[in-house]
Amino acid sequence: MNSIELKQVSKSFKDGSKTIEALKETDFSVQPGEFVAIIGPSGSGKSTFLTIIGGLQQPSEGSVFIADQQFSELKEKERAKRRFKEIGFILQASNLVPFLTVKEQLMLVNKVKKSNIDQERIKKLLSELDIMDLADKYPSDLSGGERQRAAIARALYHDPTVILADEPTASLDTSRAFEVVEILARETKNKKKATIMVTHDERLTTYCDSVYIMKDGVLEKKLEE
Amino acid sequence: MFLAWREIKHSKTRFALIIGIVVLVSYLVSFLTGLAYGLAQENRMAVDKWDADGIVLTNESNLNLDSSMFDEDISDDITSPEMAELTVSSNIVRIEDSEDTEDNIDVTLFGIEEDGFLNPEISEGNSFADGTVVADQSLKTEDGLEVGDTLKISGQDRTLEIAGFTENAKFRVGPVLYTNVDTVESIKYDDDQLSENTAYPINSIIVRSDEDLEDVAVDNEDVEVYPISEFINNLPGYNAQVLTFGLMIGFLVVIAALVIGIFIYVLTLQKASMLGVMKAQGISSGYIAKSVIAQTFILALIGVLIGFGLTIATGLFLPTAVPYQNNYLFLIATMVALILFALIGAVFSVRTVVKIDPLEAIE
């Protein structure tokens, strides 16, 4: 089974009379428990790639499958539903809601799903990420590293198939950055998630199973050195 | 509700300010409602006190009580389950011995039959007789008069003694003095020796009906029976007042809705990137929109309830001369209208929420 599979996916934009190919035809897949890094200079199409997988935009050609099910061709509303269920996002700075405590960030998932709040699961997850003491704090009271750990907890809480991390360490110093990526790698293995991390910091890829380089819309696998 | 309430709790100052605006507006609206209702009541209370269904006036009177004059005998041409004659006179009275023109009080004298249904319930003292009157309670509460005090009729040597008081007897924003027809006529024609042979005209005949005036018939070409509601609407100035206040209140409600709507809209714009992230995570526009609506509802409800409380409290401390009166039905209706319009105002923001592109939040 593939958690993520892209079949001949490409994306092009019209810019006036010119057509810009942001992503050239790509085949790509990630298995459960696999941690993939995508590196490349800014403007290379990394974010486009990630947002197509996340269903925030549709590919011009080809299809995206999540958990072996057609995803990219679903209607916007259906995609939002699937996204909520299958995909956990971790973004650069703050994808936390500023007026919710760490614990409430997780509870929001239950509120949206109209399911019961699983206090045990919240406790377990926060302890695993070592932020149990911060459960009742607001994002503004947390350090950058703590915030990203809270964001990881939030992304894992609804038990998605896929985790998409867009520059999750951008606002952190080196040691914090390593710590966060290490946690991400550990959770990927333990919980059998398919994780894609977009980063520009090549040193962080030591924790990853495979590394891809994005350059001018072309995705290439980086060979083991 | 989850998001809506947490956000209010987290940004207390910001939301306290918005609630403050709602409080002021709803205070103003409900206070105006009370004033409008109070003023309207002072125009018509004495009429409502009749508990009547119709009023017989001359065709030529333009539904004006004073200009309708007809012979008492016309009552023979009227068939009705219950009827009572009414003679009115508008006068100015002053407490006897007072020289100060500021003590002048505009009153309407109602000349009625002692055994008719127009005779009001006495709240203090006794019923009227020749030369004595039953006065509206406001002469006691506002002008400090007591039973036994004497009123001098302005421009005449006649005096009237207060025999008793009755409640809610105001007509055209002034107190009513009830007395018998002879007393009113002698004042009206400034003549103590009313001739036995002259038929003095009365102003109207008030009728009660069991079937919406269907059972009232008038067999005379000079007079007509009008429904009481039509008569009230034609009281001088009454409709103009009611419409003016009604328009003011209506506009205020709409302005309040706009203000709340704009506030919520600005707040939503401020949060756009955060909402974009939430949408990227797959939280539906519907959920976020519901939360915006719920928030508006909470803000409007809290604001309106506080404004309501302030109004009631103010009503307790107002001097009795202010024609203020609470009508809970009207108050609640305006409060509900305020909340409803605020929710309509929030609909702008819902459009914004729907239009936020999660892609922009990520890139």
pLDDT per residue over A109-168, tens digit each?
Answer: 899 888 888 899 899 889 988 899 999 999 999 988 899 889 989 988 988 999 999 888
Residue A152 Cα, gap to closest chain B Cα (Å):
13
- A87 and B282 within 8 Å at the Cβ level: the answer is yes
How high does pLDDT run on average in chain B?
90
The verdict on a CB contact (< 8 Å) between B278 and A82 is no
Per the CB < 8 A criterion, the answer to whether B304 and B26 are in contact is yes
Q: What is the pLDDT, as a whole number, of residue B197?
A: 67
How buried is B214 (Cβ within 10 angstroms: 0-12 exposed, 13-18 middle, 19+ buried)?
A: exposed
Mean pLDDT of the region B175-182: 94
pLDDT band at B231 (very low <50, low <70, confident <90, very high): very high
Contacts B279 to A, Cβ<8 Å? 80
Cβ neighbour number for residue B328 with a 10 Å cutoff: 9
- CA distance to partner chain A, nearest, from residue B277 (Å): 6
- B165 Cβ contact list (under 8 Å, min separation 6): B122, B123, B124, B125, B134, B135, B136, B137, B139, B140, B147
User: B326-345 pLDDT, tens per residue?
Assistant: 889 988 998 999 999 889 98
B11 CB neighbours in chain A (<8 A) are 99
pTM of the shown model: 0.80
Residues whose CB is less than 8 angstroms from the CB of residue B256 and which lie 6 or more positions away in sequence, other chains included: B22, B25, B26, B29, B338, B341, B342
Highest averaged pLDDT of the listed ranges A173-177, B10-14, B357-361? B10-14
Instruction: Report whether pLDDT(A177) > 60.
Output: yes
Q: Which of A40-44, A79-83, B8-12 has the lowest mean pLDDT?
A: A40-44
B281 touches chain A (CB under 8 A): yes
Q: Does the CB of B6 have a partner CB in chain A at under 8 Å? A: yes
Counting Cα atoms < 13 Å in the Cβ hemisphere of B178 gives 32
Q: What is the pLDDT confidence band of residue A224, given thresholds at 50, 70 and 90?
A: low
Are residues A51 and B362, on separate chains, in Cβ contact within 8 Å? yes
Q: What is the pLDDT of residues B69-112, one digit of tens each?
A: 998 889 899 999 999 999 999 999 988 777 777 788 999 999 99
From the list A56, A99, A107, which residue is nearest B362 (CB)? A56
Q: Do A83 and B284 touch (CB under 8 A)?
A: no
Q: How much is the pLDDT for A63?
A: 93
B353 lies within 8 A of chain A by CB = no
State the pLDDT confidence band at B314, using cuts at 50, 70 and 90: very high
Predicted complex ipTM exceeds 0.90: no
Q: How far apart are CA B158 and CA A224, in angstroms?
A: 120
**Predicted pLDDT of residue A225:** 55
B284 and A51 within 8 Å at the Cβ level: the answer is no
pLDDT at residue A94, rounded to an integer: 64
Quick check: B363 contacting A, CB < 8 Å? yes
B247/A contact by beta carbon, under 8 A:
no
